[in-house]
């Protein structure tokens, strides 16, 4: 019996705004606990929520990017439960009427396009963060009330690869639209994963298991893989009834999922409309304005790179994968760097460097302007491509401008005709045997002579000139 | 009177009335506002309103030591108007309850007769105005918590349109029904006090711009030709199974008041409303208010503020705090609220209650097309004797005792003024009008008040 997974995702992402969703406290990631707090964020009696319009605007951007329907009115509900990270005892969220419903998103999996269906996307508020220690826990209310968008997919995903591709595409859109920094390291993205297994071809879904608080994309991948195997093993060994509808959590240390609570213990959140937030009309005109303000999304950019700059499918795909990389590329174009040259530098040298050094693109020392200095010198023939790379790495490692190295002695290409002729003639003199063979038709020996010139000049000879001069001189012999 | 003497009078009243949770020993004027009609006036504020650096308990053990670090919007507005805060007034715990007997600091007594209740929940505020300790007091009104104690204490109590006064800093009971309200001894004075504290507030999204409204001036307008209605099912003695002398007297006094209205040139008509709908008002109120209350008060866990509970884990700690923090009445409301919101019960109770709410509000709005306001007695008689209270004070579901909740359902402006006595205890009439028509209601009440001798009355023995 071949078993087939069905996966649904809930992706939470903190939105970038000046202030929190319902209070005037700052919305910023801060290492000092408990400094971004207004009375509402700690639920002091009598504090009231006041909706942040910018958070709504950004939510509508996402709803539009996901091709969702947007309701006529903005309504917020209370989700009631007790937990120390939830000071009000309820979370303000959207249960009855999310900001976007019935959407879709195209994602690329192994070069093929797939569509993920969106159940809804809704605006809510984040909880405080808890730090658990051996005999106590600490609460940081900086995060309490930070605007949070939750996107819920339909159970339409059938592989961990698609699940991760969806999350990566979403993260990209968040970044491209500037709705969020979508930084997993800062905990700005958190996921819940629903997995069930059923025989291939069966139109009935298996029992759904929810995995909560999966906080990196690799953990999403691993937890789905783990659940697929766990559930499949139980089904195949005839213990299908041991799969119960429950909530589990992903344990990073053991790379397993662990039961949190079963359906019998499921919380009744007692949703009702929050009376402190009056229904607000969402004007069509505003939606139109927002629609027009949405910048080019990653897949559109990719298509433009291919059609306008003749980049290969692969190169364009690599560049758009990270908005910071794509922005770097755009800046290069603004500086009139040849698109293909820029793409080569970025995809080979730069991405290689940041991967090797485990840094983010925005931490890269070398600006597009600095890169241009190097490329210009190479193009003018002042330095060889080998030298260009040397300057590139030196500049990055020592965090000094390329100019520091470019102007140094020995860092310029030998393009002086007489100097090169001198060297070439000496080599011809010392390699009479090879010259003879070359003249007898052994054409590939030409590269040997080029190599000798390079060896003699330690790679600084202008390669084009070298070739031209060699050709002429060998003919003369 | 010198402020020192006022403080002394306040302390002296405590033994009898128990109307203060906190008396400020050295009350101070923050701002001297020569342009304000309230400049230098002493006010008392209900203890469920956040006052910076001054104990604010909501009359609950759950908040018995809570000193806010910020002021409610109305507290700032009162300061701007040049008033002086004398103290925080005793109330039914967290605004729930209608007797003035459930405060963590004990029972509030009626200045007209100390054996009787004041009604609630703004008990202390009403009692202090009646006893002439202050001329102005602030209350809050979720069902009738300003207008009922005003009636029982023989003073004027006004609950304006929802959103006229900011709720920022009001400890919430049921946010969709909660209003801040005002007490004084005359309609003109509640108008002055309300004018001082009303206004749109960036911290309360349900407030609206009322800069065009001037309640004080509205008192002077002509009243002739205005139209009121009363509800037949509540005012016809024949619709009652139990016809007590008190009820008969109440309705007789009401009839006299109606005649006075007619003498003023106000038309008054009888309107019939489906008794089933009227009977559903109180149960619906209980469902909605309890549901919102259980959610609103979920912040009371003793983790951030309030006495820390004991226990070996966080759930035990919260449970201990909440077990010790609330009276049985409050706990009962939380249980009811939780029950009606549960997935399996929500439609039958909570959503049906919302349907009743919509039906009565639609009916009222339809009537307000034709009439300026609804006029009704506030109760079946005067204040109950404390010893006669039933221990479960939500049992009295009489419609006449609970109709004022209509104004909370619709957010309608609603005012109570005294209109007589039964067994030497004051009773009142209530006038309710359409949303944002506060000026009209103040105007009508002001003129009706002028036909009677109860304006500026002070409880016997407190002059």
3-state SS, chain A, equals CCEEEEEEEEEEEECCCCECCCCCCECCCCCCCCCCCCHHHHCCCCCCCCCCHHHHHHHHHHHHHCCCECCCEECCEEEECCCCCCCCCEEEECCCCCCEEEEEEEEEECCEEEEEEEEEEEEEECCCEEEECCCCEEEECCCCCCEEEEEEECCCECCHHHHHHHHHHHHHHHHHCCCCCCCHHHCCEEEEEEEEEEECCCCCCCCCEEEEEECCHHHHHHHHHHHHHHHHHHHHCCCHHHCCCEEEEEECCCCEEEEEEEHHHCCCCCCEECCCCCCEECCHHHHHHHHHHCCCCHHHHHHHHHHHHCCCHHHHHHHHCCHHHHHHHHHHHHCCCCHHHHHHHHHHHHHHHHHHHCCCHHHCCCCHHHHHHHHHHHHCCCCCHHHHHHHHHHHHHHCCCCHHHHCCCCCCCECCHHHHHHHHHHHHHHCHHHHHHHHCCCCCHHHHHHHHHHHHHCCCECHHHHHHHHHHHHHHC
- For range A344-366, the mean pLDDT: 92
Q: Which residue of A has its CA nearest to B340?
A: A270
A121-135, A428-442, B3-17, B46-60: least confident range = A428-442
pLDDT at position B294 is: 98
Q: pLDDT tens, B49-84?
A: 999 999 999 999 999 999 999 999 999 999 999 999
pLDDT classification of B391: cutoffs 50, 70, 90: low
Of the residues B291, B295, B305, B308, the best mutation for testing chain A's interface (the one with the most A CB atoms within 10 Å of its CB) is B295
Which of A39, A45, A51 has the CB atom closest to B205's CB atom? A51
Q: Is pLDDT above 80 for A233?
A: yes
A-proximal residues of B, 50-69, CB under 8 Å: 50, 56, 58, 63, 66, 68-69
A157 phi and psi, to 5 degrees?
A: -100, 135
Q: Is pLDDT above 90 for B353?
A: yes
Q: Do B167 and A88 touch (CB under 8 A)?
A: no
- Mean pLDDT score of chain A: 92
Higher pLDDT, A383 or B150: B150
Q: Is pLDDT above 60 for A142?
A: yes
Higher pLDDT, A447 or A458: A447
pLDDT at position B463 is: 83
Q: pLDDT tens, A40-82?
A: 999 999 999 999 999 999 999 999 999 999 999 999 999 999 9
Q: Is pLDDT above 90 for B42?
A: yes
Q: What is the pTM of this model?
A: 0.89
Q: Which residue of B has its CA nearest to A272?
A: B341
Q: pLDDT tens, B405-415?
A: 999 999 999 99
Q: pLDDT tens, B105-127?
A: 999 999 999 999 999 999 999 99
pLDDT classification of A341: cutoffs 50, 70, 90: very high
Q: Do B205 and A276 touch (CB under 8 A)?
A: yes
Residues of B whose CB is below 8 A from A84: 301, 303, 314
Higher pLDDT, B166 or A464: B166
Q: Is pLDDT above 60 for B394?
A: no
Q: pLDDT tens, A378-423?
A: 887 778 788 889 889 989 988 988 888 877 756 667 777 888 888 8
pLDDT at position A31 is: 84
Residues of B whose CB is below 8 A from A277: 205
Q: Is pLDDT above 90 for B156?
A: yes
- For range A214-223, the mean pLDDT: 94
Q: Do B341 and A272 touch (CB under 8 A)?
A: yes
pLDDT at position A461 is: 82
Residues of A whose CB is below 8 A from B162: none
Residue B434: CB atoms within 10 Å: 22
Interface contact B254, partner A, CB < 8 A: no
Higher pLDDT, A135 or A93: A93
pLDDT at position A185 is: 83
Active-site annotation of B, residues: 46, 121, 145
Q: pLDDT tens, A245-302?
A: 999 999 988 999 999 888 777 889 999 999 999 999 999 999 999 999 999 999 889 9
Q: Which residue of B has its CA nearest to A42?
A: B304
pLDDT at position A410 is: 63
- For range B33-49, the mean pLDDT: 98
Q: Is pLDDT above 70 for B397?
A: no
pLDDT at position B396 is: 58
pLDDT classification of A182: cutoffs 50, 70, 90: very high
- For range A124-144, the mean pLDDT: 94
Å between B314 CA and nearest CA of chain A: 8
pLDDT at position A409 is: 57
- For range B24-28, the mean pLDDT: 97
- For range B370-378, the mean pLDDT: 98
């Amino acid at each position: 019996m071949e078993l087939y997974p069905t996966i649904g995702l809930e992706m939470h992402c903190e939105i970038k705004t000046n202030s929190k969703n319902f209070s005037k406290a700052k919305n910023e990631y801060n290492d000092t606990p408990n400094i971004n707090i207004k009375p509402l964020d700690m639920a002091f009696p009598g504090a009231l929520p006041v909706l942040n319009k910018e958070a709504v605007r950004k939510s509508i951007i996402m709803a539009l990017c996901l091709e969702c329907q947007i309701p006529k009115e903005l309504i917020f509900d209370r989700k009631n439960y007790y937990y120390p990270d939830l000071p009000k005892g309820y979370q303000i969220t959207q249960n009855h009427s999310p900001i976007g419903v019935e959407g879709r998103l195209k994602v690329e999996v192994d070069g093929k396009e797939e569509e993920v269906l969106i159940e809804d996307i809704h605006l809510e508020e984040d909880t405080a963060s808890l730090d658990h220690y051996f005999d106590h826990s600490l609460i940081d209310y900086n995060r309490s009330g930070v605007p949070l968008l939750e996107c819920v997919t339909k159970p339409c995903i059938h592989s961990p690869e698609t699940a991760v591709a969806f999350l990566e595409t979403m993260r990209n859109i968040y970044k491209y639209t500037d709705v969020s920094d979508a930084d997993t390291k800062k905990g700005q993205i958190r996921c819940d994963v629903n997995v069930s297994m059923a025989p291939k071809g069966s139109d009935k879904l298996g029992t759904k298991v929810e995995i909560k608080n999966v906080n990196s994309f690799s953990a999403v991948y691993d937890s789905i893989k783990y659940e697929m195997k766990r559930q499949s093993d139980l089904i195949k060994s005839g213990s299908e009834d041991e799969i119960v509808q429950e909530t589990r959590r992903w344990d990073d240390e053991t790379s397993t999922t662990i039961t949190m609570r079963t359906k019998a213990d499921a919380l009744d959140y007692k949703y009702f409309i929050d009376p402190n937030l009056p229904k607000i009309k969402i004007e069509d005109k505003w939606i139109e304005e927002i629609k027009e303000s949405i910048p080019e999304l990653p897949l559109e950019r990719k298509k433009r790179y291919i059609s306008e700059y003749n980049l290969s499918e692969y190169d364009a795909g690599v560049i758009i994968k990270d908005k910071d990389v794509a922005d770097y590329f755009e800046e290069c174009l603004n500086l009139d760097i040849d698109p293909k040259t820029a793409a080569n530098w970025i995809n080979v040298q730069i991405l290689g460097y940041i991967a090797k050094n485990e840094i983010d693109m925005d931490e890269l020392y070398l600006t597009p302007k600095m890169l241009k200095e190097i490329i210009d010198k190479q193009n003018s023939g002042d330095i060889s491509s080998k030298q260009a790379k040397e300057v590139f790495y030196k500049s990055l490692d020592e965090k000094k401008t390329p100019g520091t190295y470019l102007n140094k002695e020995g860092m310029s290409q030998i393009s002086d005709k007489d100097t090169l002729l001198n060297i070439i003639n000496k080599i011809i003199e010392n390699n009479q045997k090879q010259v003879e063979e070359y003249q007898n038709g052994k054409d590939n020996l030409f590269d040997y002579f080029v190599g000798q010139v390079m060896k003699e000049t330690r790679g600084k000879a202008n390669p084009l000139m070298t070739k031209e001069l060699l050709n002429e001189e060998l003919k003369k012999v | 009177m010198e402020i020192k003497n006022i403080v002394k009078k306040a302390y002296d009243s405590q033994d009898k009335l128990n109307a203060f949770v906190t008396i400020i020993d050295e009350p101070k004027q923050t701002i001297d506002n020569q342009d304000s009609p309230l400049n230098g006036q002493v006010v008392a504020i209900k203890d469920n309103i956040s006052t910076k650096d001054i104990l604010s308990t909501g009359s609950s053990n759950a908040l018995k030591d809570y000193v806010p670090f910020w002021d409610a919007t109305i507290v700032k507005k009162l300061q701007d108007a040049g008033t002086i805060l004398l103290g925080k007034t005793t109330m039914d715990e967290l605004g729930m309850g209608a007797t003035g007997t459930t405060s963590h600091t004990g029972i509030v007594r009626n200045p007209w007769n100390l054996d009787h209740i004041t009604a609630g929940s703004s008990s202390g505020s009403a009692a202090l105005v009646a006893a002439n300790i202050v001329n102005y007091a602030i209350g809050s009104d979720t069902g009738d918590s300003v207008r009922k104690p005003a009636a029982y204490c023989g003073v004027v109590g006004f609950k304006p349109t929802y959103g006229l006064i900011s709720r920022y800093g009001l400890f919430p009971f049921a946010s969709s029904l909660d209003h801040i309200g005002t007490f004084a001894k005359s309609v003109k004075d509640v108008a002055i006090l309300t004018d001082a504290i009303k206004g749109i507030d960036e911290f309360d999204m349900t407030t609206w711009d009322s800069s065009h409204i001037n309640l004080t001036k509205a008192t002077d307008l002509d009243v002739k030709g205005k139209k009121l209605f009363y509800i037949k099912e509540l005012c016809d003695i024949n619709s009652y199974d139990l016809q007590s002398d008190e009820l008969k007297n109440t309705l007789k006094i009401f009839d006299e008041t109606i005649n006075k209205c007619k003498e003023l040139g106000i038309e008054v008509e009888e309107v019939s409303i489906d008794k089933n709908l009227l009977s559903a008002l109180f149960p619906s109120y209980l469902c909605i208010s309890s549901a919102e209350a259980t959610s609103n008060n979920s912040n009371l866990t003793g983790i951030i503020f309030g006495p820390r509970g004991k226990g070996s884990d966080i759930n035990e700690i919260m449970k201990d705090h909440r077990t010790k923090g609330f009276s049985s009445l409050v706990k009962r409301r939380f249980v009811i609220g939780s029950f009606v919101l549960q997935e399996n019960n929500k439609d039958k109770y909570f959503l049906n209650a919302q349907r009743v709410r919509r039906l009565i509000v639609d009916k009222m709005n339809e009537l307000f097309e034709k009439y300026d306001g609804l006029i009704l007695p506030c109760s079946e008689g005067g204040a109950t004797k404390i010893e006669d209270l039933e221990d479960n004070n939500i049992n009295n579901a009489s419609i006449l005792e609970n109709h004022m909740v209509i104004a909370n359902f619709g957010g309608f402006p609603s005012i109570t003024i005294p209109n007589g006595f039964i067994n030497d205890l004051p009773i009142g009439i209530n006038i309710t009008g359409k949303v944002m028509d506060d000026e009209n209601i103040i105007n009508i009440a002001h003129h009706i008040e002028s036909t009677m001798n109860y304006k500026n009355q002070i409880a016997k023995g407190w002059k």
